[in-house]
Structure 1
């Protein structure tokens, strides 16, 4: 991962929808996921996961963006990716009116400044533009993310106790949310 200095008070651009991924997007995503993960964030990885694992996940996401299977929304600071959201429309005929907020991540240095809400709002607008009627998401307990999503119009629909293992002896609940868009 790159050594990145993020200015908590610096200028941030976006949110922007990524239609054509640039060559450095895989590394930028892996770097962001690494910074969020090391700070304890919930992006699907643990602090012991290798950079190669992060890059593999980022390569898969970028391929999905290229093939229009997902819609990526980003924010940046001085050419550094500092936040992202991913909307994944459902593909089965009976679910085509729905989609998933597959990722929402903000660099730890910028958390608590409203960027997560801006990305979340942009994801809802993107879902509406795609003709979706409902979104769902899955997150984990332990970081007050449930309060964040509830404050932004999402409704908790269920929990799976202990479904997420962050580290040995540190199991968290998986929490399911939905929202009409």
Structure 2
């Protein structure tokens, strides 16, 4: 069954807990979403709170996908660029699909829903995101229409002697 996507849902305790669980589970499954396994909910919570603060300030929007049971299954945060010369594009952050749903095409569905949501934002012409090299993520994003436009070798240190590239991807919307 397809996911049901909502842009800018009300932040309820159930949504908060659902995203917290998703982020923790994705991180512990090896997902490149800002943490390195093992991680627990209390380690993830401050970062989620930062995202919620940015949402409350109007700088960030949340796209959430719920599965057929109403559980949070996927998320992406859309952050407006505040530099006055770069307000024509947005950042896509913390793109996650729960490990139990991977391999079902939900990642593609999430990226398509994010692009549709962003297309509805006035004056936005492109989406940028970064991904951690070494996991094949850039190939996945390229298969969804994103183009690699930059790479910083060894910018992400996931462990001693394990540095990964920070890969910049762009999706033009027209």
Q: 1:19 to 1:67 in 2, by over 3 A?
A: farther
Contact 1:21/1:66 (<8 A) preserved: no
Measure, in 1, the Cα distance between the counterparts of 2:3 and 2:146.
26
Q: Displacement, 1:149?
A: 0.8
Q: Match for residue 13 of structure 2?
A: 23
Equivalent position to 1:140, from 120, 129, 132:
132
TM-score by length of 2: 0.90
Matched, 1:180 2:172: yes
Q: CA RMSD in A?
A: 1.6
**How far did 1:64 drift?**
2.1
1:156 to 148, 151, 173: 148
Matches within 5 A, 1:94-173: 94-131=85-122, 132-173=124-165
Matched-pair contact (CA < 8 Å) for 2:27–2:39 = no
Structure 1 partner of 2:27: 37
In 2, Cα distance between the equivalents of 1:24 and 1:68? 21
Q: For residues 19 and 134 of structure 2, what CA distance do their matches in structure 1 show? A: 23
State the shift of 1:17 in Å: 1.2
Tell me how far apart the structure 1 counterparts of residues 48 and 2 of structure 2 sit (CA, whole Å). 22
Distance in 1 between the 2:8 and 2:143 partners? 27
The one-character-per-residue Cα deviations of 1:59-99 (angstroms, maximum 9, x if unpaired) are: 11122223322111111232421110111121222111111
Over 3 Å counting, the alpha-carbon distance change for 1:72 and 1:160 in structure 2 is: same
Off by >6 Å, runs of 4+ in structure 1: none
Question: How far apart are residue 49 of structure 1 and its match?
Answer: 4.0
- Structure 2: state its 5+ residue gaps: none
Alpha-carbon contact 1:162-1:174 (below 8 Å) kept: yes
The number of aligned residues is 171
Question: TM-score when scaled to structure 1?
Answer: 0.87
Write the distance in 1 (CA, Å) between the matches of 2:84 and 2:160.
40
Residue of structure 2 in register with 1:7 after alignment? none
